[in-house]
Each structure stands twice: as structure tokens, then as C-alpha cells.
Structure 1
Amino acid sequence: MKKNAVLPLALAGIASLTLASTASAHDIPDRYGYLGGHVSQYWFEKNEMGPNGYDEVTLPGLQAGLRFHPNWSFQAWWERNQAHTRQTGDKSYISNLLGSVRYHFNDTSVLGFEPYAGIAAGQLRFDHGRSAKDDTETVAGFEFGAQARIARHFILDVGARPVWTEWNDRIEGEIYAGLNIVFGATSKPVAPVEPAVLDDDNDGVPNELDQCPNTPAGVAVDEKGCPLDSDGDGVPDYLDRCPDTPAGALVDEHGCQQYLEQDIRETLYVEFELDKAEIRQEFIGELNTLADWMKKYPNAQVTLEGHTDSTGRVAYNQTLSERRAESVKNTLVSSFNVDPSRITTSGRGPSQPIADNKTAEGRAQNRRVEVVIKATKREALFENN
């Protein structure tokens, strides 16, 4: 582009920024038609038009267009005004008729304006009156500008147009400002903006549902935002060194099973009626406590020792004490799902009383079952534990 054509572009840029700073821009529709008026300042390449050529001219005019796509539009442009030659002052009427195709950057906003770029082509006409023959020449060039919707039905359009002209292969240009009246506007519905979901520990569970809000990064969690615990031992998988602990087993802070260090002997207060081996209903809770112990130490073996009071023959009481131990074992297996292979039974008869057999209360206490939970050798679960 020749040097004199730089001025229109510079002035167009200044005009765009000045108008942008004061315009109240609204969203421009995706599709619409328009009619409007404009005023432009056209600069001629005076060195190519001869010493009696034109310098510049202000051209008012009209325009109409159709934006048929969110990014594309077509515009027809006409403008006309009187101009005088530099030396002789001869009067002519200059008309400019153009058609242009524009690309709109509809997702971009510059100071509230939507920018566009396009190509234009048409005719520049010089009407010299009766004294001389009229001149017509082909023009083509580019458009650069920006638009803002300043009211419901009005769009402000400012820009610049450098053009090539046929006669003497000139490069000229103009800046313009137009006001368009919009009709038939349509826009694609804007999807509502979803509120931001806060998830401070980035585990995929929002804060409002996260019951474990400080989960370490990268740890797998459940729907509550808590670290997974596949074996249900209370130690999450990412800390669990023994991930297959039996259900209910007592574990340490590493999720590894704990073992009894020494035998435990407890009196199971399951009292029996005279000459009976059936467990009375009110003593079932005592067996529940024993079943819990066996779950905590799934490798421990249990010995059940049946006892009787001194009433009756010793041989009969021996058999009765064995039946009482077996009765407790059967209840543990059937009601608490204890593995029968872990339970050994024996009968002690009346040989180990814990109360005075001379009283009814003492004899009731002696009709009992003793529990011995055997300590098991702890296995080496991992090195340097």
C-alpha cells in the first residue's frame, strides 16, 4: 500500500477506539437484516490523478445488508457527494457503489465491539457535468471494522477500507461510520451458566457431599468422598499393608491382623438348670461377646470346658458337663456362624467348683462353661514389621 493510503487506516483506528469508549454495547444477534446510513472520508492518490486531481471527499450514503450466519454477512453500499479539483476548482460528483462480504468474529469483544474483516468490490464514478465525459472505474479492496449494538434495534458500525482502483493502478482508501436499523433478529439461546462446583481435595466428590474433605491427592474414594477400604478393617486401602484381613479381625494402624500374645481364660456365665444342658435364652448375650472375640482373632482356637455342681453321681456329671460344652459350641456355630473347626470341647464334671455346693446359689454358679482362647504364633506378614 502506498504511503498516502496509511492515513485513512490510522484515522479509522482512532475513530473506532473513540466510539468504543462511549458506546453501550449489547450482544449482536446471530442473524438479522438491516438498513442504515453512513458517512465516510475518502482519500485519493493525488500523485496518480495528476496535478488537477482530487485530495479527499466526504461521502454520505446508504447501506443495506443481511447477516445470514453467525460469522458471515453481505452488504450493499452506496455513497455520493460533490468534490472540486485542487487547482481549477472544477466541480464533479463522486459516487461509490460497492458490495462486500464480511467475516464476523462473533465470539470476540474489543472494548465492547465485535470485530470483522471482509472483501469489497464495485465502481467509483466521476460525474463531471455537461462540460466533460463521465468516468467510471472498477475498485476492489479489504474492509476492517467493528460493530456494537447500542440499542435494541440499532447497531453502530465503524471501520476502514483500503482499495485498489483501476485507473493508473492507484491505492486509495476511506474510513467510515454507519448506523444500521436491525430487523428480523434471531439469536441462538445461550445455555445457562452452571454454578461452579467446589471440590477442595479434587477427589471428584463436591464439598457439600464430601464426608472426608481432606483426602490425599490421587487416592480412590467412594461416593461419600472417603478413601476405599476394601477389607472393611477401618484402615483405607492406600495405607493398608494387609489388604485381605478377615472381616471383623482386630488390626493395627497398618491394617494388619493382631494376634493374642497369651491365652485368655474367661468364665462364660451361661448357667444351666439342674440336670439340663440347654442354654437359657437370657444368656445368649454372653455368647455374642465370645463370638466377637473370635472374629477379632480369627486364627485363635477356643476350648470350651463344661462344669457341673456336685449333685448326683460323678460319672453322670462328667457326661452332663460334656453335653453343656457341646451345647455352647452348637449355638456359636448355628447362631453366630463360627467355624466349628476352631472350637474344642471338654467336660470337667464337678471337679472344679467356683462356689460352695452346699447352697443353691453356689450350685447354680458351678453349672457353667469356662472359655479358654488360645494364643497363636504371630506370622511374619512383611519384613521389618
Structure 2
Amino acid sequence: MPDAVRARAIALSLMLATALAAPLAAQEAASGWNEFALIQSGANSRPGPRQLPARSIPVPQAGVSPGQQAVIAAPYPPGWNAAPRTVAEWQDLVVRNAAPTLAALPGLREQLGVTSEPVTIAGVKAFVVQPRVLPAVNRDRVLLHLHGGGYVFGPGEAGTREAVLLAAHGGFKVVSVDYRMPPEAPYPAALDDSVAVYRDLLKTTSARRIGVFGTSTGGGLTLALVLRAKAEGLPLPAAIAPGTPWSDLTETGDSYFVNEFADNLLVSWKGWLGHAAALYANGHDLRDPYLSPVYGDFTGFPPAILTSGTRDLFLSNTVRVHRKLRQAGVEADLHVFEGQSHAQYYADPSAPETIEYHAEVARFLDAHLAR
């Protein structure tokens, strides 16, 4: 840079600093902002990891319903930092986690006018969940549901809550897979069961009339199922809805660090989540695309709608999948809700955000499933 140009740049910088000094001086007198800013500037004066101060994050108000604000403000769930070491300890944690959902499900189904019938499909336990009155447009369509829960939570009917909500709000018949889980049945049991049920559905329903959805682990399994279907030469579903997918079982992605402890559901990968990843993988490489599908080939994938929240520990998992789908030329929508932690777009069944989320997913599936 010529000396004259450098001198002019320095002069402009000094003028800008002088112009900003007056309002900042007032802030400094009131709150010490200037001193704080200098400390932060010093802590981040070199390239490298960002050094953040301890801080309090307010509950968002703008554009967030009161019901959703209560969800966002809730304390961490019990057991978020559990580290079970034995089969018995895992089983105890799973039972305690499932109890509130099991207690609330009958009332939720009654309120929403939804039925649930246990079935066995291709030797795999499942539930057929559907509205009491199935809209004519959806009589030849079916959704395959893969539940969330870190591959360890949500056994039996406890895994059907999300299926109940989409059956009600979308008017779809849903087959919810009660796939086998660790510690008794680690990888690839969950994926094998999901593919077995999908393969059986293809015997009676065209792939053009099948959608696949699930949240968190269910979102990761949705992506892994499509990868397996591609590899095995099966027709692919017409559309998928992987909500905040656990697409990378390793602690990789910006939001694993930016949203750590801000997410009031998962809280941190270093809690039970990382232990569940190792338990499910059972010694396999966590970057295997059937475990962490973000490392797979998304070429030819069906249209996808993905959802997350600004505080979601899995926001980066979701964003990375969205970008990779777009790079593969796949139609993919991304919806991010203000202030929400992991999977909170259906935490409160009566919240406007829950209704909005299911309307978006139902609209997307309706647009892509054949009639």
C-alpha cells in the first residue's frame, strides 16, 4: 500500500474512532462497556478459537408465543449429563425418560382424534397411527415414521408422540417403527428394522406415495434409510422430512460449541448424547455414512424439508445436510425457529409454533406425494 494511501486510511480510522468515542463514553460511564469491550478485543486479538465471556441469554419475546417462551425458559431435563455404565443403568434411564410420554399419550390421542394400533411388519414391531377420519386424498398415501431419542430412548408406544401429531395435523396414515435399540441391539439393528419395514410397505404402496420423517435420531435414520435404499436398488420415497437430524454422531459442527448449554434439551454432546453415540455405534466408525449420513452421497435424494431452531445443538447438523442436499441438486427447504432448542418445534402440542411446523411439513409432503 503506498504511504499516502496508508496515511489517509489511518486518518479515516482516527476520525471514525473519534466520532464513536462520544456515545461509547456515555456507555462506559453507565456500565463499563468500554473496559469490557477492550477485554474482549484483547482475548480475541489473534486468529483462532473465539473466546466468549460468561453471559446470560434472555428468553426471546418477538415472534415467539407465550407457550413456546415457557418451553425455551425451562430448566435442563433431569439426566441430561447421565453417563450409564451398565445395561441396567441404561434401562433404568430409558424407563424414567419414557414414563411422562406414556402417561400423556392417551389424552393427546383423544384430544387430537387419533388412533394407534400395534402391528408387526416384516418381523418388526410398529404402530399404525392415523386420524379417526382419514381424508380421501391421503387414503392411498402412507408416511413412515422413525422416532427420535438418541437410539436409546422412546421404546414401544413412547416413540409414537411425533407420529400422533403429524397424523392429526397432516391427516396422514403413519407407520411408526418401534426399531430395536441398544444396549441390547446396537447398530445396525435400528437401520435394518427401518429398511425392512420400508421394503414391506413397497409391496402394497408405490414409493411415489410414501414419505419418510422423523426428528433427531429419526431424522438421521431417515437419511440413512435413503442411503441404504439407494445402495440396494430400492425405489426411493417421494419426499422426506428429517427434523433436526442427528446426521453426525461425532462432535463436529459449529453449533455443538456455540449452542452448548444454551440448548436446554440436549445441553451438551458430552452428556448422555455422546455416550449414546458410542453405545449405538458399538465400535464402528462414527463417520460411517449409515451412522453419520452427512458423510454419504446425497445424489438423487428425494425432496426434503428440514427444521431446526436457533439454539439447537443440532443446528449445524441440519444446516450441513441442507447445504449438501442443495449441492447435490436436491430440492431442500430449511426452516429455523426463533429461540428453540433441539426438537422444540413440537414440544408443546398447543403452541402456534407446533401447529405451524406441522402445517409446513404436511404442505411439503402433500406437494410431493402422488395422489
Per the normalisation by structure 2, the TM-score is 0.19
More RCO (CA 8 Å, sep 6+): 2
- Larger proportion of helix: 2
Per the normalisation by structure 1, the TM-score is 0.19
- Larger proportion of strand: 1
Larger Rg: 1
